[in-house]
């Protein structure tokens, strides 16, 4: 059984599908900028959960939303401005163009690190009618009230408010939402589920309460219920989503249907970069394009690096560590390509490793142990090489590292390496061994080593 740390239960619990398939909803991007590597780590967590279930034969239905309207605050824009509109103004494009451009970029990025495509990527703007329907139900059930063209959720009407985050009403103080004091609120912790459109607002919709647009939290309630039903297995996101986003989502969803909607909640930890919180001003803010500009052109090395830490442990990303992951991934692929040329044995000597692999995955996605197992298999003297290739490529169904990329591929040695081998041979003939040694080191830097044989020097790839 798969066990995961459930934020709601505050414990590692067994997570099983309630029906014929495992239904999960993953908080996706707000498409006003590129997804940074911290976002990608959170999306990878959901991908690993899905792959772990699928590896063991469970059908998974995964939905991941696209927030293209109404996300109101940001670390840079925390004065009530809509991120989409701010980006539109900064880039000189319409909100629709901004959303389309960064949605395409998001889909490109997740594909680059081999995150499997979700069943559906609903856009918030396509679910406005469903949001209005939920808000109407909340008003009918006494969980929300209309005021000044907007609609507020009445937190005091929902006694369980705060059970996910621990931010119960007795602990919250006025101003915790970073909003200007709102005289229309009945309680300072109440939040807008429908916002009135201000003068000149570009993106707005008609509603029973006047022209406006949805609050951020109501979007996920509407999309998840519309696509997965009013009871599903798992909701994922980053730990920054716990409050207020997911806390408010629980209140809205359960308030509208009258029962628990999400059975389990799983959150990924923050990613540090070069020892600090990522910020453009600090020069440590990276997306995949930034990394490529710095010469790191293998996105799956990012995935390998993330696999070396557990999803709910804070991790420190460094460019040096990424470089090491690139070299490791390249070496593993070369080894597997060589081993795959041989014939596997009939005896399953790798069975104990397979058992430990599944146990580690099921133990709250213990990917550090999984990666240690990969290293053990690679260095094992008891598993035949061909069996190693079979096992590791099977595990790659979860790891997603494209470990079999070079299987069956004939790799040509770089022309520059062959030229240097000839230069080294000429130096050896002259007994200039110091020059020959320097050239050998240069050849090694290309991933090629030279074997001196009676027939002459022969190149081979470094294993």
Q: Model confidence over 396-431: pLDDT tens digits?
A: 999 999 999 988 766 778 888 888 988 998 988 888
Domain assignment present for residue 405? The answer is no
Range of the domain at 293: 272-399
d(Cα 460, Cα 463) in Å, to the nearest integer? 9
* Domain limit, last residue, from 242, 268, 294: 268
- pLDDT at position 11, please? 98
* Residue ranges in the chain whose pLDDT is less than 70: 70-92, 173-181, 346-347, 409-410, 463
d(Cα 424, Cα 430) in Å, to the nearest integer? 10
d(Cα 312, Cα 274) in Å, to the nearest integer? 19
Say yes or no: 250 and 290 in one domain: no
Listing DSSP states for 338-385 in one string gives HHTTSPPPSS-TTHHHHHHHHHHHHBT--HHHHHHHHHHHHH-SSS-H
- pLDDT at position 96, please? 85
- pLDDT at position 344, please? 87
Number of domains in the chain: 3
Say yes or no: 173 and 212 in one domain: yes
* Burial class of residue 306, CB neighbours in 10 A (0-12, 13-18, 19+): buried
What's 19's domain CATH number? 3.40.50.620
- pLDDT at position 437, please? 87
Domain assignment present for residue 407? The answer is no
Please choose, from the candidates 78, 337, 118, the residue with its C-alpha nearest in 3D space to the C-alpha of residue 227.
118
pLDDT tens column, 309-342: 999 999 999 999 999 999 999 999 999 999 999 8
Domain assignment present for residue 410? The answer is no
């Amino acid at each position: 059984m798969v066990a995961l740390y459930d934020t709601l239960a505050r414990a590692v619990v067994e997570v099983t599908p309630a029906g014929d398939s495992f239904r999960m909803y993953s908080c996706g991007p707000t498409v006003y900028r590129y997804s940074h590597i911290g976002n990608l780590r959170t999306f990878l967590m959901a991908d690993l959960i899905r792959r772990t279930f699928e590896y063991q034969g469970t059908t998974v239905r995964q939905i991941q939303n696209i927030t293209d309207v109404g996300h109101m605050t940001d670390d840079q824009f925390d004065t009530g401005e809509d991120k989409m509109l701010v980006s539109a103004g900064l880039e000189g494009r319409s909100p629709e163009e901004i959303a389309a451009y960064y949605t395409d970029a998001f889909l490109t990025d997740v594909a680059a690190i081999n995150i499997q495509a979700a069943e559906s990527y609903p856009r918030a703007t396509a679910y406005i009618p469903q949001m209005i329907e939920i808000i109407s139900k909340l008003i009918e059930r006494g969980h929300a009230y209309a005021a000044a063209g907007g609609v507020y959720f009445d937190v005091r009407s929902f006694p369980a408010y705060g059970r996910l985050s621990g931010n119960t009403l007795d602990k919250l103080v006025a101003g915790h939402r970073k909003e200007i004091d709102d005289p229309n609120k009945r309680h300072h912790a109440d939040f807008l589920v429908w916002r009135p459109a201000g003068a000149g607002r570009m993106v707005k919709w008609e509603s029973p309460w006047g022209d406006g647009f949805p609050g951020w939290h109501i979007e996920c309630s509407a999309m998840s219920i519309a696509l997965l039903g009013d009871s599903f297995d798992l909701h994922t996101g980053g730990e920054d989503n716990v409050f207020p986003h997911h806390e408010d989502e629980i209140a809205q969803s359960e308030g509208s249907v009258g029962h628990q909607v999400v059975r389990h909640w799983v959150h990924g930890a923050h990613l540090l970069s070069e020892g600090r919180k990522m910020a453009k001003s600090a020069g440590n803010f990276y997306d995949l394009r930034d990394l490529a500009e710095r010469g790191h052109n293998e996105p799956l090395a990012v995935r390998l690096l993330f696999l070396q830490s557990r999803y709910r442990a804070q991790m420190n990303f460094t460019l040096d560590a990424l470089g090491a992951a690139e070299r490791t991934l390249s070496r593993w692929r070369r080894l597997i390509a060589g081993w795959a040329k041989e014939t596997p044995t009939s005896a399953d000597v790798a069975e104990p490793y397979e058992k430990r692999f599944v146990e580690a995955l099921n133990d709250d996605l213990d990917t550090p142990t999984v990666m240690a197992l990969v290293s053990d298999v690679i260095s094992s003297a008891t598993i035949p090489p061909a069996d190693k290739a079979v096992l590791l490529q099977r595990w790659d169904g979860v790891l997603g590292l494209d470990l079999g990329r070079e299987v069956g591929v004939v790799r040509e040695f770089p022309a520059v390496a062959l030229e240097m081998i000839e230069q080294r041979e000429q130096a050896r003939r002259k007994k200039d061994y110091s020059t020959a040694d320097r050239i050998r080191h240069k050849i090694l830097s290309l991933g090629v080593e030279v074997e001196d044989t009676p027939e002459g020097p022969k190149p081979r790839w470094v294993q």
